[in-house]
Amino acid sequence: MAKDKAKPKADDKLSDKDYEKLLEQLQIELVKFQRDVIADGTKVAIVVEGRDGAGKDGTIKRIVEHMSPRETRVVALSKPTDRDRASWYFQRYVPFLPAGGEIVLFNRSWYNRAGVEPVMGFCSPEQTKSFLDEAPHFETMLTRAGVRLVKYYLDISKEEQKERLADRRSNPLKQWKISPIDAAAMKKWSAYSEARDAMFMRTSHDAAPWFVVKANRKKIARLNIIRHLLGQFDYKGKDEKVLKVDPAIVFRFTEKALTQDLLAH
């Protein structure tokens, strides 16, 4: 199984106080960024994917914490209805896409069909194949329509997932996160790995590449995701000094990630 091979960086030794200071600097940058998004009518969609316990909720929480609630939306859809199942697969996501001046974060997304649905038997192999064929075309249409689409996958080790899921069960403040899917997460680890790898190979494309985040260390992952996200855009008052990303933590997916054992298996 792949370990988190990132070499120790300065962030690794962060105290809670230093982390909060760095996070505040980045959240100030996010506010600057959103000011320009609103003024310019930019449409921003951010996909946050990853295994159960990978840190999606905490990452999104830190991104949106000080942003305008009127122009910022977090989308985390529940299981599809009968009507959803009888519709074009992407149709249920279209109403939640950003209009001009909006930032939308998808806490899981249409990529359910590449991960949890096939692994748990919620869709057929033919449906997954169709999705993998169609997703790049769907995303290319979005980008041609002016949507700035950024996709992150938070990657954690099997040991780290085990610890985090155990914490959910024992922590009364995290009881809402517990789901029947959690019980299968560990048992189906290999199946999820295979589905993830196929998803990367088929749906990382020039219009919307996948960015992998080594997320065993939550705070470091959060800081680097925000730095990386802001680095994808130009905005007034941008402070490049606080946006240096550790390339061992966030990197664009290429086939090398599979051949050089850069992902958790």
Q: Is the pLDDT reported for residue 165 higher than 50?
A: yes
Domain-embedded: residue 167: yes
Q: What is the residue whose two structure tokens read 């051949």?
A: 259
The predicted structure's pLDDT at residue 7: 40
For helices 180-187 and 158-170, the axis angle rounded to 10 degrees is: 150
Distance of alpha carbon 124 from alpha carbon 128, whole angstroms: 6
Among candidate residues 79, 75, 23, the one with its CA nearest the CA of residue 45 = 75
Q: Is there a domain that residue 31 lies in? A: no
Per-residue pLDDT at 181? 76
Report how far residue 6's alpha carbon sits from residue 142's, in angstroms, rounded to the nearest whole number: 34
Beta-bridged to residue 214, according to DSSP, are 155
Residue 8 lies in a domain: no
> How many CA atoms lie less than 13 Å away from 167 in the CB half-sphere?
11
Quick check: 63 and 229 in contact, CB under 8 A?
yes
- Residue 43 backbone phi and psi in degrees, to 5: -110, 115
Does 165 fall in a domain? yes
Within a domain: 96 = yes
Cα–Cα nearest to 154, from 64, 76, 204, 214: 214
Whether 265 maps to a domain, the answer reads no
Beta-carbon contacts of 232 under 8 Å, excluding residues fewer than 6 positions away, are 148, 150
* Burial category of 49 from C-beta neighbours within 10 Å (exposed 0-12, middle 13-18, buried 19 and up): buried
Q: Is residue 1 a part of any domain in this protein?
A: no
Question: What percent of the chain stands above pLDDT 90?
Answer: 86
For residue 19, is it within any domain?
no
Q: What domain count does the chain have? A: 1
Output the pLDDT for position 11: 56
Residue 180 confidence (pLDDT) above 90: no
On whether the CB atoms of residues 216 and 187 are closer than 8 A, the answer is no
Domain boundaries, position 56: 37-259
Predicted pLDDT of residue 3: 43
Give the pLDDT of residue 92.
Answer: 97
